[in-house]
C-alpha cells in the first residue's frame, strides 16, 4: 500500500505544475551548474550577432525607443552584410514617429532579409488582433507538410486559449511578414506554438528562422530536424553560463551611429542572424534561470542559438514511467534489505540516479526525471523501510509480550527475527508436554496472608521457569497454581529436538528435587509450602498463534495436553507421572530414581491406561516424608479421624472386579487402606466387596444395603514385599452408612487384636 501511494504521489507530482516548479527550482540549477563545471555548456553559434539597446544606446538616442525612420535606417545598414534574418523581440504596438509609417513599411518590405518581430497574447480584446495569414500560423498547412497526415488533435500542443494575439501597429503591420510570440512564463520553458484557435497558432519568434517548419507524426520539425518538446509542446531552454552570452553582446549605439551616417555594417559572418535586444535599465525584464536572475533577452538569445546549432535539450521518453519504476525499486529495497545494507544501497542508488541524470544532461543534453526518480527511490525506500521496522518493532513487542519469560532469552532474541507469518502459522509436531500442579494451593492460601502467598507462588513459578528454560523447554502458560510447558519444538528453526522426552524427564526430576529442598527450608522459616505433581506425555500437538490483531497468544492445543493433565492428576506428591508414549522414548537412566508402572483411570476410557510413576526422591524418603508431614500440618490436612489397623491374623479381603483381591490393612471413618498386587494411580475408581472369615461381616453389610463398595484411590505407595498400598476414599455413602461400616469392621476384629493407629 505504501509503495502504491508513494508511486502514485510522485508520478502525479512529477506530471503536475507543482512538480515542474519544484524541478525548476531544485533540479535545473544543479544540472545546469554541473554541466557548466564540466565545461559542457552548449557552444554559441558564431553566426549569431547580438546588439543590445543598452544604457549607452539610451543615452545616445535620448529616447527609450527609436523612431520608425531610425529603425528603417538601422535595418538598412545590415543590407551589405546580408544576414539570414534580423530578430527584433519588440511589439511595435505604439511606434514612435508614426507619420513615417508608409515609408517605413515600404523600406522594410524592400529589405533582402526577413525581419522577425514579436507578438504577444493577451486577454485584452479591445485591440485589433494580429492577422495570421502566413503558412507558419496555419496548423493544417504545418500538419500536411509532413510524411504523415496529422489530425489537429494529435499535435503535441496545448488546447486553444482565449487569448488575443497582438502584433505590430496596424499602420505598419504589413511591413513584417514574420511575426512570432515571445510569451515567456519564467519557467525556463518556451512554448513552440501558442494555439489561438483550433486551426491557428502563433509560433515562437526564433522558430521563424527555419526555412521549413512542419509537424510529422505528432512531432515538430525545423529544417528537417526534430525539435524535442515536452508533453505540452515546450522546449527547455538550452543555456550555458550567462557570462559567455554577455561577452558576445554589443551596444546597438554603434550600428545606429553608423546608420545615421549612411554607413553599412560589414563585420557580420556569412548567413548570420542578428538579434536586437532591449536591455537598458530600468526597462530590462529580469527572469529566473538555473544560473540565477538574468534578463529575459538572454533566454531568447539561447533559444535562437539552439535553432542555429540544433543543440536542443531532449527529453527522456516516458519520464513518469521511470519515476514510477524507481519508486517501486525503492519499495523493493525497503522491503527486502536490512539495516546498514539497506541504507548503503539506498544511498548508492540515489547517488547513481543523480550521477546518471547529470551525466546524461551534461554529455548528451538529455533531460531525465532524475530528481523525482531519486527522490521517489529515496522516499519510498525509506518510508517502506521505516514502516517495515515499525511493524517489526510492533511484532517484536507483541512477540516479546507473548513469549517473554516463556522461552529462554537467547531463543526469544532469535524468535523475534523470524517473519511473523512463519512464526504464527500453525504447525503440527510431536513434543513432550509437561503439566505441573501446585498441590492444595487454595488450602495453603487460606492459612497465609494473600500477599505472602502470591509472592511465594511468584517466586516458585520464576524458579520453575528458569529450570524449564535450562532444559530447552517452553512455558506455554501459567494456570494460577500450575504450569503447562512443552519440550522439543524450536520456534526459531521450526524443528523438533529428538531428545525432548529425555530433557523433559530430566527437567521434571530437577524440579521435584529442588521443590523438596525449597519446601523443607520454607518449613523451617514458617513460610508457605508448595509440593508439586508433574505429568509428562508425548504426542502430536498444534503449535501456533491463537491471538488476534491486538494480542498474540502462542500456544499448543491437542489431546496430548489433556492427557498430560490427567497424568498429573494421577501422580503422587513429589513424583512425575509418564504416559506410555513418553516412557517408550526415555533412554536416560537418572540416578536415585524409582520407576513403577501404574494403572490410570482416564476420563472417556473404559479400560485403565498404563502410566509410569517416576519417584525422584526414591533415595530421599525420610526428607520426603518430613516435607509431606510439614505440608499436612501446614495446610491442616493431618488425619483427624481415628484409623484402625487390621492385623494379618484377622484377614479382611477386598475382592475387586478388575484388579483381583487385596487385603484391608486399616480403616477409618469413610476410608480404608487396601494392599493390592497392582499399582493403581490416584483417581482410579475401585468397585469391590468385602470378604472375611466371619460370615457375620458379609451379612451385616447386606443388611444395610452395601454388599459392594465403591472407592476412589487417593494415594498409593509401594511396599517392600512387592505389593502396593492404596488409600481409598469410599464414595456415595451417607454419614450414617460410613459410621455403620466402621462399626461392622470394628466388631469383626476381636477386641484383643484391634489396635487404634490414628
3-state secondary structure of 295: strand
Residues 84 and 228 in one domain: yes
Residues 351 and 434 in one domain: no
pLDDT of residue 54: 92
Q: Which helix (H) or strand (E) holds 709?
A: strand 709-718
| Mean pLDDT over each residue of the chain, to the nearest integer | 85
- Total count of domains within the chain: 4
pLDDT of residue 633: 80
Q: Which domain holds residue 35?
A: 1-42+311-391
Exposed, middle or buried, 149 (CB in 10 Å: 0-12/13-18/19+)?
A: exposed
CATH number of residue 421's parent domain: 3.30.70.1230
- Spell out the residues 6+ positions from residue 576 whose beta carbon is closer than 8 angstroms to its own: 505, 508, 509, 512, 534, 535, 536, 613, 614, 616
Please, are residues 689 and 655 in contact by the beta-carbon 8 Å criterion? yes
Residue 747 confidence (pLDDT) above 60: yes
Say which residue, 489 or 421, is predicted with more confidence: 489
DSSP per-residue codes, 511-524:
HHHHHHHHHHHHHH
Residue 149 confidence (pLDDT) above 60: no
Residue 552 confidence (pLDDT) above 70: no
Instruction: Give how far Cα 374 sits from Cα of 17, 350, 679, Å.
Output: 19, 5, 79
Cell of 523: 518449613
- Residue 336 located in a structural domain: yes
Residues 295 and 316 in one domain: no
Residues 292 and 343 in one domain: no
- Residue 632 located in a structural domain: no
- Residue 629 located in a structural domain: no
The domain boundary, picked from 305, 328, 356, lies at 305
- Spell out the residues 6+ positions from residue 249 whose beta carbon is closer than 8 angstroms to its own: 50, 51, 52, 54, 277, 279, 301
Q: How confident is the model at residue 758 (pLDDT cuts 50, 70, 90)?
A: very low
pLDDT tens figures, 486-503 = 999 887 677 889 999 999
Enter the DSSP assignment of 270.
T
Q: Are strands 85-88 and 609-615 parallel, antiparallel or unpaired?
A: unpaired
- Residue 399 located in a structural domain: no
Please provide the size of the chain in residues.
758
Residues 410 and 453 in one domain: yes
Please, are residues 186 and 288 in contact by the beta-carbon 8 Å criterion? yes
Please, are residues 415 and 491 in contact by the beta-carbon 8 Å criterion? yes
Exposed, middle or buried, 754 (CB in 10 Å: 0-12/13-18/19+)?
A: middle
Residue 631 confidence (pLDDT) above 90: no
pLDDT of residue 736: 87
Cα separation, 401 vs 395, whole angstroms: 10
CATH number of residue 709's parent domain: 2.40.10.220
- Residue 598 located in a structural domain: yes
pLDDT tens figures, 691-745 = 887 778 888 888 888 888 999 998 888 887 788 999 999 998 888 888 888 888 8
Angle formed at CA 726 by CA 573 and CA 745, multiple of 5 degrees: 135
Residue 183 confidence (pLDDT) above 60: yes
Q: Are strands 115-122 and 178-181 parallel, antiparallel or unpaired?
A: parallel
- Give the CA dihedral 10, 14, 16, 18, nearest 10 degrees: 90
Residues 168 and 219 in one domain: yes
Cα separation, 434 vs 561, whole angstroms: 8
pLDDT of residue 746: 85
- Residue 142 located in a structural domain: yes
The domain boundary, picked from 272, 288, 305, lies at 305
pLDDT tens figures, 249-292 = 999 999 999 998 989 988 889 999 999 999 888 778 888 888 88
Cα separation, 36 vs 24, whole angstroms: 17
- The answer, yes or no, to whether the previous bond of 282 is cis (omega within 30 of 0) is yes
The count of C-alpha atoms lying within 13 angstroms of the C-alpha of 532, restricted to the half-sphere facing its C-beta, is 30
Residue 647 confidence (pLDDT) above 90: no
Residues 448 and 318 in one domain: no
Cα separation, 234 vs 367, whole angstroms: 13
Q: Which helix (H) or strand (E) holds 393?
A: helix 370-403
Cα separation, 329 vs 352, whole angstroms: 13
Residues 683 and 543 in one domain: no
Exposure class string for 721-737: b at 16+ Cβ within 10 A, else e: eebbbbbbebeebeeeb
The domain boundary, picked from 254, 280, 305, lies at 305
For the entire predicted model, the pTM comes to 0.64
Residues 60 and 192 in one domain: yes
- Residue 396 located in a structural domain: no
Residues 260 and 318 in one domain: no
Residues 89 and 216 in one domain: yes
Out of 73-77, 239-243, 410-414, 622-626, pick the least confident: 410-414
3-state secondary structure of 418: coil
State the angle between helix axes of 319-336 and 2-15 in degrees (0 to 180), rounded to the nearest 10: 150
- Residue 65 located in a structural domain: yes
Residues 13 and 118 in one domain: no
Amino acid at each position: 500500500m505504501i509503495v502504491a501511494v508513494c508511486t502514485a504521489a510522485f508520478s502525479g507530482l512529477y506530471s503536475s505544475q507543482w512538480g515542474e516548479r519544484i524541478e525548476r527550482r531544485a533540479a535545473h540549477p544543479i544540472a545546469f551548474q554541473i554541466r557548466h563545471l564540466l565545461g559542457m555548456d552548449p557552444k554559441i553559434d558564431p553566426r549569431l550577432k547580438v546588439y543590445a539597446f543598452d544604457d549607452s544606446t539610451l543615452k545616445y538616442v535620448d529616447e527609450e525607443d527609436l523612431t520608425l525612420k531610425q529603425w528603417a535606417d538601422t535595418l538598412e545598414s545590415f543590407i551589405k552584410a546580408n544576414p539570414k534574418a534580423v530578430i527584433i523581440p519588440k511589439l511595435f504596438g505604439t511606434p514612435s514617429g508614426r507619420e513615417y509609417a508608409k515609408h517605413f513599411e515600404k523600406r522594410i518590405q524592400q529589405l533582402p532579409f526577413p525581419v522577425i518581430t514579436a507578438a504577444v497574447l493577451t486577454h485584452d480584446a479591445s485591440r485589433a488582433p494580429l492577422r495570421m495569414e502566413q503558412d507558419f500560423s496555419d496548423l493544417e498547412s504545418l500538419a500536411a507538410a509532413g510524411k504523415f497526415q496529422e489530425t489537429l488533435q494529435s499535435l503535441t500542443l496545448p488546447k486553444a486559449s482565449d487569448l488575443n494575439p497582438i502584433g505590430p501597429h496596424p499602420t505598419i503591420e504589413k511591413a513584417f511578414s514574420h511575426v512570432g510570440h515571445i510569451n515567456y512564463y519564467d519557467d525556463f520553458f518556451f512554448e513552440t506554438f501558442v494555439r489561438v484557435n483550433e486551426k491557428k497558432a502563433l509560433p515562437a519568434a526564433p522558430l521563424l528562422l527555419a526555412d521549413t517548419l512542419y509537424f510529422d507524426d505528432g512531432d515538430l520539425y525545423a529544417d528537417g530536424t526534430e525539435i524535442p518538446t515536452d508533453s505540452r509542446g515546450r522546449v527547455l531552454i538550452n543555456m550555458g553560463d550567462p557570462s559567455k552570452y554577455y561577452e558576445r553582446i554589443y551596444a546597438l549605439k554603434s550600428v545606429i551611429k553608423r546608420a545615421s551616417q549612411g554607413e553599412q555594417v560589414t563585420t557580420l559572418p556569412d548567413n548570420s542572424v542578428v538579434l536586437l535586444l532591449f536591455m537598458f535599465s530600468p526597462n530590462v525584464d529580469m527572469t529566473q534561470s538555473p544560473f540565477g536572475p538574468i534578463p529575459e533577452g538572454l533566454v531568447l538569445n539561447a533559444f535562437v542559438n539552439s535553432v542555429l546549432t540544433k543543440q536542443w535539450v531532449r527529453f527522456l521518453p516516458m519520464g513518469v514511467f521511470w519515476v514510477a519504476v524507481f519508486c517501486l525499486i525503492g519499495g523493493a529495497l525497503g522491503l527486502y534489505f536490512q539495516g546498514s545494507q539497506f541504507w548503503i544501497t539506498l544511498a548508492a542508488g540515489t547517488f547513481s540516479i543523480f550521477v546518471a541524470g547529470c551525466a546524461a544532461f551534461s554529455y548528451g543534453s538529455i533531460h531525465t526525471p532524475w530528481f523525482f526518480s531519486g527522490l521517489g527511490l529515496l522516499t519510498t525506500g525509506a518510508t517502506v523501510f521505516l514502516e517495515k521496522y515499525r511493524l517489526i518493532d510492533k511484532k517484536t513487542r507483541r512477540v516479546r509480550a507473548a513469549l517473554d519469560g516463556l522461552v529462554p532469552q537467547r531463543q526469544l532474541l532469535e524468535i523475534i527475527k523470524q517473519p511473523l507469518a512463519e512464526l504464527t502459522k500453525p504447525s503440527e509436531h510431536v513434543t513432550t508436554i509437561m503439566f505441573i500442579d501446585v498441590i492444595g494451593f487454595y488450602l495453603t492460601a487460606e492459612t497465609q496472608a494473600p500477599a505472602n502467598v502470591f509472592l511465594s507462588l511468584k517466586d516458585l513459578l520464576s524458579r520453575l521457569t528458569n529450570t524449564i528454560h535450562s532444559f530447552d523447554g517452553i512455558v506455554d502458560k501459567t494456570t494460577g497454581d500450575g504450569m503447562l510447558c512443552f519440550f522439543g519444538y524450536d520456534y526459531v528453526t521450526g524443528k523438533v529436538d529428538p531428545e525432548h522426552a529425555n530433557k523433559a524427564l530430566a527437567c521434571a526430576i530437577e524440579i521435584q528435587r529442588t521443590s523438596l529442598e525449597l519446601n523443607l527450608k520454607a518449613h523451617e522459616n514458617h513460610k508457605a509450602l508448595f509440593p508439586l505433581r508433574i505429568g509428562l506425555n508425548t504426542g502430536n500437538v498444534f503449535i501456533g498463534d491463537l491471538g488476534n490483531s491486538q494480542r498474540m497468544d502462542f500456544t499448543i492445543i491437542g489431546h496430548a495436553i489433556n492427557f498430560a493433565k490427567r497424568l498429573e492428576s494421577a501422580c503422587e506428591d513429589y513424583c512425575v507421572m509418564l504416559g506410555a508414549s513418553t516412557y517408550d522414548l526415555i533412554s536416560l537412566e537418572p540416578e536415585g530414581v524409582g520407576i513403577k508402572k501404574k494403572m490410570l483411570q482416564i476420563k472417556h476410557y473404559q479400560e485403565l491406561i498404563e502410566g509410569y510413576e517416576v519417584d525422584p526422591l526414591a533415595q530421599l524418603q525420610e526428607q520426603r516424608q518430613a516435607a509431606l508431614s510439614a505440608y499436612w500440618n501446614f495446610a491442616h490436612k493431618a488425619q483427624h479421624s481415628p484409623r484402625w489397623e487390621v492385623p494379618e491374623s484377622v484377614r479382611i479381603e477386598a475382592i475387586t472386579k478388575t484388579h483381583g483381591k487385596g487385603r484391608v490393612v486399616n480403616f477409618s471413618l469413610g476410608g480404608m487402606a487396601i494392599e493390592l498386587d497392582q499399582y493403581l494411580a490416584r483417581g482410579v475408581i475401585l468397585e469391590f466387596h468385602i470378604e472375611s472369615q466371619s460370615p457375620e461381616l458379609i451379612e451385616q453389610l447386606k443388611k444395610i444395603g452395601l454388599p459392594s463398595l465403591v472407592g476412589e484411590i487417593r494415594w498409593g505407595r509401594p511396599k517392600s514385599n512387592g505389593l502396593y498400598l492404596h488409600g481409598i476414599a469410599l464414595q456415595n455413602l451417607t454419614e450414617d452408612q460410613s459410621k455403620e461400616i466402621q462399626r461392622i469392621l470394628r466388631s469383626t476384629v476381636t477386641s484383643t487384636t484391634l489396635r487404634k493407629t490414628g
